[in-house]
Structure 1
């Protein structure tokens, strides 16, 4: 015990140590709280179990001790009362005393609050040494569910004996570059600081001694397609993505020769807060912002939609390519509808045989664009077409006997 006392005292008072308050980062040592279990029932309802990790820089970095004294206080505080959960009959201060065989009889023991260096129970062979200051025993306060503020000259702490570089020991950072140093189950918000002794690259002399704040794990995402992408992130564990619009439902092949149909409808999954539609080759007539839109097509193109969550997170974009059928192929022309001359340059005469009344007429280009609309009265009419560009056009006349079509040519 005297050797340990001297070891921790030296750790707390060394003038040659490098001490600073470090924030978390990819090239810094830092202590982070990671959510382990959120409890929603039983005696732990409303509490969260947090795992506390010291994040290292190299696989061979070794954590030798966690301490606190007057110069570099060990602080662990929670906003709840009691500060944290301690099992009423089987609690252990250090994870090396946790026997998983007791979890059957005491299920909540798995979420007991404890300190450690690298291990979560007694299954691994790991000796953890502890020093408690008689003037202020931080571990008694911890077991009583009280906040810890260890700032006495002697201080409090826990440590391990260095096994040597190359040894299999949980005190080394390992591939994931982190070491478990505690588990806290609480309904409150945690904060504090711990003075740590690290052997960088497994080298004992010189060592590294840092007073590190206890921080919550930051949200980390390196995926540029994620809603919470952060260019400064260094891990990729908590990426969040927007909702999916699913498959766009609607006609993919559009027949612009069918003049009875001038609008087309498209829909997608409605499991999002809002939707953003885009279109090429046509115009969105209505429904922007919803999962259902009506569209007018002019040429080959595509329609796309992106679903957006209530907090503004956009998901992946769904797209439907559109093929347009146009031209004279497949059209049936009426013998009793005539338009002449063809080709024409300025005026054409329209004659409708055997059908009386006022009939609605439209002229379309071969791309399906409506270029002129008028009413045919008295079955005959001379129409000025001098403003139309050179090309082939379709005259459609809507009568009580159905839709009649005829083609004509403008030549200038």
Structure 2
């Protein structure tokens, strides 16, 4: 199902925009690509009164202008038109308890106290080709995260992070708390080998300096956003990381966020989707895992099952099929008495009978 978003409706009727294409607005250097030069231009003039990239004609280059630009970044101007908007692709927010800290941990900037808890916040997307473009907020659509005491390691000071791109895993061995600083992912995994990065803008100078320890907010008139600098699909079986947040008092952690995603439409084209006012709380935790009692890794505590969460006897690579690759895995486990993946007949050992049963599945 598609519809034209309120944002795009406003754009289409502003300054005769219905006769213009995205490149008329966003190809700043005229090279036929909405690329890096335009991206730097959009960020460089963010918050500028009378800024030239102001599709909604508000008089200020603000969050709405940035959100209208991000879906088209990286596109060639050949036959590029405005995207339709979709609904129902952003289906769920999941708060997962990632780590409970039972002892103090040394950090680069400060000690992470015992009793703290690290949570991971995810958006669950409907299609594996959907991906997150931005997490955002302004005075009309505030982004608010709150906890009872403080968010550990969130900020611009040494030893702190705002986005995952600032995370330096090389420090983890000497300063183990470094792994648990709070940050926004905006769709990018915390992987030392990742080539993707997360950028951010805010409508207030030195934005993080004005935050209370127990609150992360974007609710000013200009607004701000966290966004993927390399907009590619980054879903992990449908779960897209929004952020990691370590709270020193886990008695309360909740919030309201807004998301912009690029979505895969049924006809093979791309669309965009806004999801605003999404709420979450650690009073309603999600446990990812296999919920199928027939699987070898059934988890009775699981509350949400992602694609690929379940493992079945004989399916060693988890692709849902029985192939030569799986047979090689079974042969490697031959004689094992604690390998349920290869113990197809359930007699407690991977033996000839299991291999014969497997061959009937090919």
CA distance in 2: counterparts of 1:3 and 1:56, whole angstroms: 28
Which residue of 1 is the match for residue 138 of structure 2? 69
Which structure is higher in strand share?
A: 1
CA distance in 1: counterparts of 2:193 and 2:94, whole angstroms: 24
Work out whether residues 29 and 55 of structure 1, in 8 Å CA contact, stay in contact via their aligned partners in 2.
yes
Structure 1, unmatched stretches of 5+, are: 164-168, 240-412
Q: Give the CA deviation at 1:154.
A: 1.1
CA distance in 2: counterparts of 1:229 and 1:90, whole angstroms: 35
Q: Give the CA deviation at 1:105.
A: 2.0
Q: Give the CA deviation at 1:106.
A: 1.3
1:10 equivalent in alignment to 2:65? yes
Work out whether residues 28 and 57 of structure 1, in 8 Å CA contact, stay in contact via their aligned partners in 2.
yes
Which structure is higher in helix share?
A: 2
Structure 2, unmatched stretches of 5+, are: 1-39, 47-60, 70-82, 105-111, 311-362
> How far does the alpha carbon of each residue in 1:280-303 deviate from its partner, in whole angstroms, 9 at most, with x for none?
xxxxxxxxxxxxxxxxxxxxxxxx
Larger radius of gyration: 1
Q: In the TM superposition, what are the counterparts of 1:252-271 in structure 2 within 5 Å?
A: none
1:104 equivalent in alignment to 2:173? yes
Work out whether residues 78 and 84 of structure 1, in 8 Å CA contact, stay in contact via their aligned partners in 2.
no
Larger relative CO (CA 8 A, sep 6+): 1 or 2?
Answer: 2
1:195 equivalent in alignment to 2:263? no
Which residue of 2 is the match for residue 159 of structure 1? 227
- Decide which of 225, 232, 235 is 1:173's aligned counterpart: 235
Work out whether residues 74 and 156 of structure 1, in 8 Å CA contact, stay in contact via their aligned partners in 2.
no
Which residue of 2 is the match for residue 385 of structure 1? none
Which residue of 1 is the match for residue 279 of structure 2? 213
Q: In the TM superposition, what are the counterparts of 1:264-303 in structure 2 within 5 Å?
A: none
Which residue of 1 is the match for residue 318 of structure 2? none
- The structure-2 alpha-carbon separation of the partners of 1:17 and 1:114, relative to structure 1 and needing over 3 Å to count, comes to farther
CA distance in 2: counterparts of 1:181 and 1:128, whole angstroms: 11
Partner SS for 2:246: strand
Partner SS for 1:209: strand
Q: Give the CA deviation at 1:214.
A: 2.6
Relative to structure 2, which stretch is displaced further, 101-110 or 119-128? 119-128
CA distance in 1: counterparts of 2:206 and 2:185, whole angstroms: 20
Q: Give the CA deviation at 1:146.
A: 3.8
RMSD: 3.8
TM-score under structure 1 length normalisation? 0.46
Q: Give the CA deviation at 1:54.
A: 1.4
TM-score under structure 2 length normalisation? 0.51
Q: In the TM superposition, what are the counterparts of 1:38-117 in structure 2 within 5 Å?
A: 38-42=100-104, 43-79=112-148, 81-86=149-154, 89-117=158-186
Partner SS for 1:41: coil
CA distance in 1: counterparts of 2:174 and 2:301, whole angstroms: 44
Partner SS for 2:271: coil
Q: Give the CA deviation at 1:17.
A: 8.9
Q: Give the CA deviation at 1:30.
A: 2.2
Which residue of 2 is the match for residue 185 of structure 1? 246
